[in-house]
Structure 1
Amino acid sequence: MSMCDCSTQDELVEAVKEYMLQVKGVEDVFVLTDEDKKSIEQLEEDAKGNVLMGMGEGDNQGIAEVFKREHILCFTTNKDYIWPEPPNVIMMQDGEMIGFDCSAEEICKYEEHPDYMVIGTFIMNKANTVGKTGKPIVVLPPKPCDLGELEVEDAVLGSPSTPSDEYIREVYHFEKSNEKGTFFLGFNKVKCID
């Protein structure tokens, strides 16, 4: 007896695409070609160590995790897309977290606190930065992705670096706009046990 519906890989990918198209704010979903994967992996490798958002060297752990998965999709979003729960950006220095983004609702917890500095929705821990000498590292962490009842495992989201985002916009003729974005989704098929 099987513990999963052993649908083909193509059927599974199509089911995930259809699921994602139902998510509010998702406009398009497509499978990356092998050429796209190679190009994006190279762009992400080249982006390592570059200054990210003017804050420090980049470490895109989210994309690294996505590319460890069997299936990789890209989806485009509009302003109605609800981002994963923060933190989506973490600043590290000398192995300690010194900054992170948070929701607009959470900002009030930090605004009056003497140890924190609020910059929009980004919070800097002033107490943790004292005496630090190492380069700041801006980490884009992997984020979990709920795909409902679909028989997948290890589903994870990654936010691309600027060069990868620009690559997707150019190759797929996706409109350049501050209100529109790209995300990558990686997942594995649940293994069948007879």
Structure 2
Amino acid sequence: MNTSMVELAPLLLEGAGITIQVAVLSWLLMLPIATAAGLARLSKFAAVRAVTVVYVEVFRGTSLLVQLFWLYFALPFVGVELPKLAAGVLAIALNYGAYGSEIVRSSIQAVPKGQWEAAVALNMTPWQRMSRVIFPQAFVRMLPPFGNLSIELLKSTSLVYFITLSDLTYQAMVLRNNYVSMTPQIWATLLVIYFALAGIVTLGFKLLERRLQAGR
């Protein structure tokens, strides 16, 4: 009996739902991590900068897949057992938070020196200078690189397949094992879905960037 992709689509869509969930949760956790680490890199306290440098270099210098395995397979040996979804989200967020911290740091440092001096001249506190003058300007600079990073984050969600979380890639592998003759169609559909999701992310960031830059 011949099987069409229409009949297999519900399983792939179910996997796409998990992929979107992992991507959104990871992105929401990544943003505060990246912001905090980026600001910490600019701290006047050497100890804070040192700890942040260690975090950034470790997570940028090692494989995301190995980090995922550590969180899901190794932590239980020291008494910490994370659910599949939590392990996947945490690994992706920590990894891309390290990359995002460099975007935050460099964007803040790219704000013209005159803006810092003007804020000091207005007798603003350090918090007021950062929240009202510096960070809003830096945020606009962050959008294009954060858009690219978000697409990479989305694609990295396919790695949760290795801890048997039933995402899009996992469901495609299940279908491929059950319908070997339809392997080309299954993987082609997988490519189209990931491309569509990445397109939505790209469009969202372009619209946000255009809105924030209006009138500048």
Same fold by TM-score greater than 0.5: no
Larger radius of gyration between Structure 1 and Structure 2: 2
Higher helix proportion, which one?
2
Q: TM-score, normalised by structure 1?
A: 0.23
Q: Pick the structure with more strand per residue.
A: 1
Q: TM-score, normalised by structure 2?
A: 0.21
